[in-house]
Amino acid sequence: MRILIATSEVSPFSKTGGLADVCRALPVALKRRGHDVSVISPAYRCALRAGRPVEPTGLAFDVPIGSKIVSGRLLRTVNDHDVPVYLVDQPEYYDRPELYREAGQDYADNCERFVFFCRAVLESLRLLGGGFDIVHANDWQCGLVPAYLRLEYEHTHGYEQTACVFTIHNMSYQGIFWHWDMLLTGLDWKYFNWKQMEYYGQLNLLKTGLVFADMITTVSPRYADEICTAPHGCGLEGVLQQRRSVLRGILNGVNYEEWNPQIDPHIPGRYDVTNWQEGKAKCKEALQRLFGLPVEPSLPLIGMIGRLVDQKGWDLVGAILRRWAPVEPVQWVVLGTGEKPYVELLSQLAKEFPGRIAARFEFSEPLAHLIEAGADMFLMPSRFEPCGLNQLYSLKYGTVPIVHATGGLADTVCDASEENISQGRATGFVFEPYEAAALENALRRAIALYRNNKEVWAAIVTTGMAQDWSWDRSAAEYEQVYKEAKALHQAALEQRLAQNR
């Protein structure tokens, strides 16, 4: 199949979160499966300065944005394994310090910027020679792609066979704008209704994508179920219930070329499932020294990486840390940035209990790798988590995950219950409901097993390390969704043509 992946960010050219990593890794896996795949994304300032050669293609276009015509052009570069990446160049919209916001405020013209990008995607399908089987649009920034394909381009030569898949990476971000921004889209006002593009009197671009796509995916099977109900649906659960038959949950994969303790350049002791005890011991010592913790091999060391916000479970963790720090012989290493109350709490506890709690308020790729390798356990108590990646990294690195039973966390970590241990399936510790007492119970179960039953602990570690969460597995599932989307698109097209005769 010929596939174009449309995304507002793709690593290493632009990144604010996991979307960029998905749109870097998935095309490579699809190419390995024999598909002709390319990526299209805005030519942000950071994208043009990413250190990769960028060339003009000679391809340009003019599109209507409200009452004006705006010009753009396509640049070309390549990503891993020579996957083509097309950058939509329009300096007025994209030559800015950040992707979506600056100084804590969203750019006021974000709707216009991504209306333009979506129109550019549709024009690019033609400029790049047509014949695309799939355009795969991601998140609200690409929410108009399915609408334009269905409402404006469906009967245009070269577009008839192109189906659209739309992926939700996080329901919390919906691209909601005031109703007059509907004028920017150029679409008929009749589509601004509660069944299609309108949401409580406003324009909702995520909803638009959900309504008009041939198939919808999200980033884990559990999350696909959760978003069909409140509160995880974030107000769009009704739309998703209506489209449940075309909604699929596909877990994100792990790039094992980057996250693999056998070849990781960021850790002092490389290891695999055969020698993990020696390798992790070296990494644990290095981690303790780097964070100023006492080098005590027998003490349980718990790692956490990510945003210090309630959604990531810090309302629960904060309460537990206050009680545990004075009395529990456990070490904690935290890496991340976030809300001021949690930064202040960790700073204070680290001063009062320097032998037990250490924190760095930054993001560092090398430190993230060292924490994954050096910690004994990795804590992810997220209130909700569409997919999550750190628990998958942790499994590969032999760092036992402790997670809340939500989204991708529930799909990828098998609780160390007596039954799962006896059947050799246990890979971590899972707690439910979302309460401090339940989290504390999971932590105590994990620490007790770590201290008192080395044989079972080793079995849990090795079972986790043997898991395959590669992008090859995910790509095979996307391939099936693409086939379904093609079939649905063709059937719907034939039905609409019959109705118009």
The amino acid occupying position 278 is E
- For the chain, the first-to-last Cα distance in angstroms comes to 31
| Residue 298: strand, helix, or coil | coil
CA 291, 295, 297, 301 dihedral sign is: negative
Residue count of the chain: 501
| Residue 409 contacts residue 402 (beta carbons within 8 Å) | no
Walking along the chain (501 residues) 10 residues at a time, the average pLDDT comes out as 98 91 95 98 97 97 97 97 97 97 93 98 96 97 98 90 96 96 98 97 98 98 96 96 98 93 97 97 98 97 94 94 95 94 96 96 93 98 94 98 97 97 97 97 98 97 96 96 96 81 69
Distance CA(6)–CA(433), nearest Å, equals 37
Residue 171 structure tokens = 């329901």
pLDDT at residue 331 in the model: 98
The amino acid occupying position 264 is D
| Residue 430 contacts residue 411 (beta carbons within 8 Å) | no
CA distances from residue 175 to 18, 135, 152, 194, 205 in whole angstroms, order as listed: 18, 20, 21, 16, 5
pLDDT at residue 53 in the model: 97
Residue 369 structure tokens = 């790798």
Residues 6+ apart with CB under 8 A from 340: none
Closest to 45 (Cα-Cα) out of 79, 92, 104: 92
Distance CA(94)–CA(75), nearest Å, equals 13
Residues 6+ apart with CB under 8 A from 398: 261, 271, 273, 276, 280, 461, 462, 464, 465
pLDDT at residue 46 in the model: 96
| Residue 365 contacts residue 266 (beta carbons within 8 Å) | yes
Distance CA(88)–CA(201), nearest Å, equals 31
Domains and CATH numbers, the chain: 2-253+473-500 (3.40.50.2000), 276-465 (3.40.50.2000)
Backbone angle region of 398, left / alpha / beta, with phi > 0 → left and psi within -120 to 50 → alpha: left
Q: Omega of the bond prior to 297 within 30 degrees of 0, cis? A: no
CA angle 141, 146, 148 (to 5 degrees): 95
CA 364, 366, 367, 371 dihedral sign is: positive
Give the global pTM. 0.91
Residue 265 is given by DSSP the state T
Strand ordering across the sheet containing 377-380: 357-360, 331-335, 301-305, 377-380, 400-404, 429-431
CA distances from residue 455 to 254, 261, 413, 461, 468 in whole angstroms, order as listed: 28, 22, 19, 10, 23
pLDDT at residue 336 in the model: 92
What is the CA 403 to chain-centroid distance, rounded? 17
Residue 433 structure tokens = 């409901």
| Residue 37 contacts residue 21 (beta carbons within 8 Å) | no
Helix ranges (H only) for 253-389 are: 276-290, 314-324, 340-352, 365-374
> How, if at all, do strands 331-335 and 357-360 pair?
parallel
pLDDT at residue 363 in the model: 84
| Residue 374 contacts residue 396 (beta carbons within 8 Å) | no
Residues 6+ apart with CB under 8 A from 481: 165, 215, 217, 248, 250
The amino acid occupying position 428 is G
